[in-house]
């Protein structure tokens, strides 16, 4: 699906919802001007700061759009020692309580409000991020 159609789907999904319209407009403008590689693993707070919008408002919007099937959530498990991403899951039901960092060679316990962070990626139904870009990012983990 082309980026313009994805933007229409976002507008449609957000219509008639109790969401901040300025935040929606900022997000749509950002998506329109950015390369699709930039859509991979969006950190809601980082993006909110970049767009100069309220963090909670953008997070609410992305969660709403995820509920509408437009985005997938990535559950990223960070090593408590080096902060590198040791694992990533798309569903909590595949998550494990125990983690291991290959770089630090340590085992640790995954704790939701400590070392687990979420990012958002457009659903593959709408946007296809080039596999070579994803592979390059995964090799950074
Ligand atoms: Zn580590």
88-97 pLDDT tens trace: 888 778 878 8
Quote the ligand 1 centre to 87 CA distance (angstroms). 11
Q: What pLDDT score does 141 carry?
A: 53
Q: How is the chain split into domains, by residue range?
A: 3-138
Contacts of 30 (CB under 8 A, 6+ apart): 47, 50, 51
Measure 136 CA to ligand 1 centroid, in angstroms.
19
Give yes or no for residue 139 having a pLDDT over 80. Answer: no
* CA–centroid distance, residue 78 to ligand 1 (Å): 8
DSSP string, 61-87: HHHHHHHTTSEEEEEEEE-TTT--EEE
pLDDT of residue 103: 94
**Fold held by 3-138:** Arc Repressor Mutant, subunit A (1.10.10)
Structure tokens at 129: 């991020």
Ligand 1: centre distance to CA 141 (Å): 10
**For 77-119, what is each residue's pLDDT tens digit?**
999 999 998 988 887 788 788 999 999 999 999 988 899 999 9
Burial of residue 92 (CB within 10 Å: 0-12, 13-18, 19+) is exposed
CB 19 within 8 A of CB 54: no
Q: State the CB neighbour count (10 A cutoff) for residue 71.
A: 24
Ligand 1 center–CA 100 separation, angstroms? 8
């Amino acid at each position: 699906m082309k980026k313009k159609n994805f933007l229409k789907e976002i507008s449609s999904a957000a219509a008639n919802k109790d969401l901040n319209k300025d935040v929606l407009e900022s997000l749509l403008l950002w998506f329109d001007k950015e390369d699709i590689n930039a859509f991979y693993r969006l950190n809601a707070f980082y993006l909110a700061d970049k767009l100069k919008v309220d963090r909670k408002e953008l997070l609410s919007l992305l969660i709403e759009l995820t509920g509408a099937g437009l985005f997938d959530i990535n559950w990223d498990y960070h090593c408590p020692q080096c902060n590198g991403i040791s694992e990533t899951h798309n569903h909590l039901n595949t998550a494990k309580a125990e983690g291991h960092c290959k770089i630090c060679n340590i085992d640790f316990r995954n704790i939701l409000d400590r070392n687990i962070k979420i990012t958002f990626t457009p659903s593959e139904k709408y946007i296809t991020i080039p596999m070579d870009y994803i592979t390059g990012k995964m090799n950074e983990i």
